[in-house]
Amino acid sequence: MDHRRARTLNLGDFWQGDDLDPLRAPPDFTEWRSATMAEQAIFQRPLTSASGPRTSFLLHGERREVINLASLDYLGLNGDPRLVAAARDALQHWGTGACGVPLLSGTTTLHRELERQVSASVGAPSTMLFPSGFSGGFGLMSGLLRRGDVAIADEKAHMCWLDGIRSSGARLVLYRHEDPKSLDEALTEHRTKRRLVVVDGLYSMDGDLADLPRLLDVCDAHGVGLIVDEAHSIFALGENGGGATEVHGEQRRVRLLFGTFSKSIASLGGFASGDEELLEYAKLYSHPYGFSAALPPAIVATNIEAIRIARTEPERRRRLADNAAYFRRAVCGLGLDIGLSTTHVVPILVGGERDLLYDAALAMLERGLYILPIDYPAGPEDRVRFRASISAGHSREDLDTALGIIEDCVVRPLRARGKLAT
């Protein structure tokens, strides 16, 4: 396949292959993949050191350190010696694996302690753990919903919820992003059904916060419960790290608060916090809880220690907020569009310039900045973007260096194409 043509295609073009054998990759996909190897090289690139505010890669056969705006280690905890020590101690005591699913033999006293710590952190009566965030969102939906139900989600809700809803047999209805009127219409249209509503606390592609008070007013008016996925906000936002829910003071009205340990906690796992009876029920019907191995004890110990640090070192959240505000202001100062972002997730929109996205990402990597493109269909085709994830661990020098590279590799080419005012 010709490289120029290959660059006009995207993942959406290969979703439904013509081949009769589902265990064979569509030949045009394979051709496209090999024609765009240079572009693909920005993804799944093996790191050679920890994914923190800085990391390293092999570039042209040499190990190169880069500033990392692609890590979700928002509090700068990855590699913290206290987390490493907690994991090492747990490895020595518990061994390497949980060796069972949570529902049967995989739960240890450490898992129970983590549940208590999470409940105390978010002010909920009870918490249930999952092997990953994705399996948690998926499992809750597939376990709690059934055919005939209607699950109403913001159109930008994370894939784990959408896949889980689809697999439950319930009807998935998307309402317009952050539009209470659209939510109200969806709830009204399906008023005769069992319904629930799912939103993200912080939207991971746009960096905006859900307006929980307005959405909850609509849900309350319909007597329908709301789940908030705080994957990108838990421990990163709110005075005590309680996420968007705490920022809005909505701990009482949010029915189920969901989060992950894979971002601010720099580890692995998912959790749901809320009503104890509901969670005891979910444990029996959410299949990732009954059919997938429990988190290894060393990971659980890491999570407990990271939560302790996140709760006792609020200055990390303040540094994160300061860094994020500094970066957002500076990116806007370069004339770039950060869309809806008000947080540490900062998209840099480049319109429909998909080819620039890849050329610039590779050029930035060469210059010492790792920042990932978000291409269609992960976001709208006319609003492709880079996503910068800011960390409390970035120094001002890191951010200034990154901004200089962004100016050279993104701003200048956009200007040259007439896509940005000079």
Ligand X SMILES: Cc1ncc(COP(=O)(O)O)c(C=O)c1O
Q: What is the binding site for ligand X (CB under 6 A)?
A: 132-134, 137, 158, 160, 200, 204, 229, 231-232, 260, 262, 270
Greatest CA separation found in the chain? 63
Kindly state the smallest distance separating residue 232's Cβ from ligand X, in Å: 6
* Residue whose Cβ sits closest to ligand X: 133
Taking the C-alpha atoms of 61, 64, 70 and 75 in order, what is their torsion angle to the nearest 10 degrees?
140
Kindly state the smallest distance separating residue 128's Cβ from ligand X, in Å: 15
Tokens at 46, concatenated? 């093996």
In the complex with ligand X, the residue whose CB is nearer, 242 or 413, is: 242
In the complex with ligand X, the residue whose CB is nearer, 133 or 241, is: 133
The one-letter amino acid code at 320 reads: L
In the complex with ligand X, the residue whose CB is nearer, 55 or 264, is: 264
Nearest to 254 by CA among 244, 265, 269: 244
CB 156 within 8 A of CB 205: yes
Tokens at 284, concatenated? 């029996």
* Phi and psi torsions of 328, nearest 5°: -60, -45
Kindly state the smallest distance separating residue 157's Cβ from ligand X, in Å: 8
In the complex with ligand X, the residue whose CB is nearer, 90 or 265, is: 265
Q: What are the start-end ranges of the E strands in 131-214? A: 150-154, 171-175, 195-200
Kindly state the smallest distance separating residue 199's Cβ from ligand X, in Å: 10
In the complex with ligand X, the residue whose CB is nearer, 153 or 410, is: 153
In the complex with ligand X, the residue whose CB is nearer, 160 or 331, is: 160
Helix ranges (DSSP H) in 313-348: 315-333
In the complex with ligand X, the residue whose CB is nearer, 149 or 229, is: 229
Kindly state the smallest distance separating residue 396's Cβ from ligand X, in Å: 27
Tokens at 114, concatenated? 């983590």
Kindly state the smallest distance separating residue 223's Cβ from ligand X, in Å: 26
Tokens at 295, concatenated? 């988190």
DSSP 109-176: HHHHHHHHHHHHHHT-SEEEEESSHHHHHHHHHHHH--TT-EEEEETT--HHHHHHHHHHTPEEEEE-
Kindly state the smallest distance separating residue 234's Cβ from ligand X, in Å: 10
